[in-house]
């Protein structure tokens, strides 16, 4: 059975945003639904997931230009741009400074806004339980 594809109006409704806002993300090249012709786009569940991620990042304070540049870089670097896990790096005044995409390689993140300029290695450690945690057991 083929997956049902939504038109842009139904996709926007399902995402809880206006049609125009969704189409701005498409026009900027941030999300890439299936384009049937110049007036008709179709949205699969995968496209909707990517749109949700783009909307969440946009709502977190990233500009359209920042997201467009991040998506272009991630595609060129061989990543699926809006799938996966991201870390939002904020500056002292709360504005987004960087966007790190966690890679498939354990403990590694690449900067999407600084065009991969730095790759960070993240260490996950398990701290011993605090006295309060020990008492709960």
Q: Is residue 123 pLDDT above 80, yes or no?
A: no
Listed by start position, the domains of the chain span 1-59, 63-124
| 1-59: CATH architecture | Orthogonal Bundle (1.10)
How far is the C-alpha of 57 from the C-alpha of 78, rounded, in Å?
20
Task: Specify the DSSP class assigned to residue 83.
Answer: S
For 11-23, write each residue's pLDDT tens digit.
999 999 999 999 9
For 54-105, write each residue's pLDDT tens digit.
999 999 999 999 999 999 999 998 888 898 888 888 888 888 888 988 887 7
């Amino acid at each position: 059975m083929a997956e049902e594809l939504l038109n842009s109006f139904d996709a926007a409704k399902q995402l809880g945003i206006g049609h125009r806002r969704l189409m701005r993300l498409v026009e900027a090249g941030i999300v890439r639904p299936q384009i049937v012709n110049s007036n008709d786009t179709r949205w699969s569940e995968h496209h909707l997931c990517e749109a949700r991620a783009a909307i969440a990042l946009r709502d977190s304070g990233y500009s359209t230009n920042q997201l467009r540049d991040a998506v272009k870089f991630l595609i060129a670097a061989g990543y699926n741009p809006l799938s996966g896990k991201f870390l939002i790096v904020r500056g002292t005044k709360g504005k987004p400074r960087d966007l790190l995409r966690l890679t498939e390689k354990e403990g590694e993140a690449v900067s999407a806004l600084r065009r991969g300029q730095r790759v960070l290695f993240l260490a996950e450690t398990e701290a011993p339980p605090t006295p309060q945690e020990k008492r709960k057991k």
